[in-house]
Amino acid sequence: MSGRLVAVELRRLALPLVTPFRTSFGSEHDREVLLVRVVLTVDGTETEGWGECVALREPVYSAEFVDAAELVLAEHLVPRLVRDGPLTAADVAGRLAPVKGHPMAKAAIEMAILDAELRHRGVGLARHLGGTADRIPSGVSVGIFDTTDALLAAVQGYVDDGYARIKLKIEPGWDLEPVRRVRELIGPDMGLQVDANTAYGRSDIDHLCRLDEFGLLLIEQPFAEEDLLGHAQLARASSTPVCLDESLVSLATAADAVELGAVDVINIKPGRVGGYLEARRIHDLGVERGIPVWCGGMLETGIGRAANAALASLPGFTLPGDISAASRFYARDIVTNPIEVVDGHVAVPTGAGLGFDLDRDHLATVTTRTRPLDLPGELHVDR
Ligand code: NPG
């Protein structure tokens, strides 16, 4: 059922983090969020939908950054979508394919249209994607600390909160020792994994193999985004499964990485791959090829967090995702039904659309700018 985009608005929010989050590429103290609000008319009824763009303020995780995402949405993506007439969420990726790159910006507008479309139909995202679980195990991602003692205290807090697995950020100089100490703290049975965010190079393969003794679930993205060969070499040398994040920007790159033996486990982030529909296709590839997948996180608000929980309810998500409680990052979420962790699990939203309920008052408080887009009229070509 096609709909017409009758309004699109870009919103910028400033959200302080409850505690700074340090990775090998920098420290985040607050989150500058870009939201996309659409109004879609289907069968004469107008429905609102929201999407969240996961691009960071600076291009340090990937090439995208929030100002560029706003610009490409306003000047290139939305005009193309509107120009070509009525659409469904499933048409978005194809219509936007002529614009190279910018997966996070593309994902945000597809997400908003999907939200509106599903709300109109009264269907939840999990059901739409083929999700089967009604709750999913929740993992937490723990940043780099100045001291190992501070790290251990933080990890103990997350263990007490009931998280199902721990992910540690690592970088050269912050790897073997913190991992050893955390493994001692949490015992041999709790899931533990590490994420390097591209901080190492191929010459570190022998060093990284020393992580094998800690029984890790996986090592995530040790080498540069482009370095599939290096990851394949590590996968052969090390007994720790190699997981890719930054390298996998589409179904095609994921399929190539599998073929090359560069990836044992796939981190799926819908923003990184251009949207939830491409994310499902990567999930399907994982199921077909026997590659476990899990859902990554990008410090999302309740909008993206709800959608991620829906995605992670698909059966191929056999490892806990980075879908932690919203309160791990934000004192107050912009939704009235924030994701919470109970017995190490997160409930999969069941409401229509992405399943979140906006806290409009709080959203207004944290909004720094609202930009309604002028929508170009459709081209009516007489044939
Ligand atoms: O739980 O949302 C979360 C954060 C998970 O560590 C996490 N994300 O590289 O996967 C990552 C990392 C990240 C954080 C990436 C911030 C980009 C920005």
- Please state the domain extents for the chain: 4-122+360-372, 127-347
269 is catalytic: yes
Ligand 1, from 15, 17, 141: best to mutate by most atoms within 8 Å of Cβ? 141
> What is the edge-to-edge ordering of all strands in the sheet holding 139-142?
139-142, 165-169, 191-195, 219-220, 242-244, 265-268, 293-295
User: Is the pLDDT assigned to residue 378 strictly greater than 80?
Assistant: no
User: Is the pLDDT assigned to residue 383 strictly greater than 50?
Assistant: no
The per-residue pLDDT of the chain, averaged, comes to 96
Ligand 1, from 249, 298, 305, 327: best to mutate by most atoms within 8 Å of Cβ? 298
| List of residues 6+ apart from 217 with CB closer than 8 A | 165, 191, 192, 193, 241, 265, 319
Q: Alpha-carbon distance 317 to 222, whole Å?
A: 22
The upper half-sphere exposure of residue 207, i.e. CA atoms within 13 Å in the direction of its Cβ, equals: 15
**Separation of CA 24 and ligand 1 centre (Å):** 11
Q: Alpha-carbon distance 82 to 86, whole Å?
A: 8
Residue 324 CA: nearest ligand 1 atom is 1
User: Is the pLDDT assigned to residue 342 strictly greater than 80?
Assistant: yes
Per-residue b/e over 33-65, b at no fewer than 16 CB within 10 Å? bbbbbbbbbbeeeebbbbbbbbbbeeeebbebb
pLDDT in tens, 350-377: 999 999 999 999 999 999 999 999 997 6
| List of residues 6+ apart from 71 with CB closer than 8 A | none
Q: Alpha-carbon distance 169 to 61, whole Å?
A: 13
**Separation of CA 256 and ligand 1 centre (Å):** 24
**Separation of CA 139 and ligand 1 centre (Å):** 12
User: Is the pLDDT assigned to residue 326 strictly greater than 90?
Assistant: yes
Does 299 contact ligand 1 (Cβ within 6 A)?
yes
pLDDT in tens, 106-157: 999 999 999 999 999 999 999 999 999 999 999 999 999 999 999 999 999 9
Does 103 contact ligand 1 (Cβ within 6 A)?
no
Count the helix, strand and coil residues of the chain and give each as a percent rounded to the nearest 5: 35, 25, 40
Does 56 contact ligand 1 (Cβ within 6 A)?
yes
What percentage of the chain reaches a pLDDT higher than 90?
A: 97
Give the helix ranges, DSSP H, for 87-141: 89-96, 103-121, 125-129
Mean pLDDT of 274-301: 98
Mean pLDDT of 262-288: 98
Task: Return the biggest CA–CA distance within the chain.
Answer: 72
User: Is the pLDDT assigned to residue 379 strictly greater than 80?
Assistant: no
Q: Alpha-carbon distance 226 to 70, whole Å?
A: 26
| List of residues 6+ apart from 236 with CB closer than 8 A | 261
Residue 197 CA: nearest ligand 1 atom is 9
Domain 4-122+360-372, CATH number (from 3.10.20.30, 3.40.50.2300, 3.40.50.300, 3.30.390.10):
3.30.390.10
CATH topology of domain 127-347: TIM Barrel (3.20.20)
Does 141 contact ligand 1 (Cβ within 6 A)?
yes
Q: Alpha-carbon distance 156 to 152, whole Å?
A: 6
Per-residue b/e over 318-332, b at no fewer than 16 CB within 10 Å? ebbbbbbbbebbbee
**Separation of CA 218 and ligand 1 centre (Å):** 16
Amino acid at 240: T
DSSP 220: E
Does 308 contact ligand 1 (Cβ within 6 A)?
no
Please say whether the beta carbons of 59 and 78 come within 8 A.
Answer: no
Q: Which residue has the higher pLDDT, 201 or 376?
A: 201
Annotated catalytic residue within 100, 106, 167, 169: 169
Nearest to 328 by CA among 303, 297, 350, 307: 297
Burial class (CB in 10 A: 0-12, 13-18, 19+), 135: middle
> In this predicted structure, what is the pLDDT of residue 376?
73
Does 324 contact ligand 1 (Cβ within 6 A)?
yes
Tell me the pLDDT band of 381, cut-offs 50, 70 and 90.
very low
Structure tokens at 268: 């799926």
- pTM for the model stands at 0.96
> In this predicted structure, what is the pLDDT of residue 1?
80
Mean pLDDT of 53-70: 97
Does 296 contact ligand 1 (Cβ within 6 A)?
yes
pLDDT in tens, 152-180: 999 999 999 999 999 999 999 999 999 99
Does 320 contact ligand 1 (Cβ within 6 A)?
no
Does 322 contact ligand 1 (Cβ within 6 A)?
yes
Ligand 1, from 30, 225, 299: best to mutate by most atoms within 8 Å of Cβ? 299
**Separation of CA 21 and ligand 1 centre (Å):** 9
pLDDT in tens, 18-54: 999 999 999 999 999 999 999 999 999 999 999 999 9
Residue nearest to atom 5 of ligand 1 (CA): 297
Residue nearest to atom 9 of ligand 1 (CA): 197
Query: Which pairing describes strands 45-53 and 165-169: parallel, antiparallel, or unpaired?
Result: unpaired
Nearest to 309 by CA among 264, 345, 349: 349
User: Is the pLDDT assigned to residue 380 strictly greater than 70?
Assistant: no
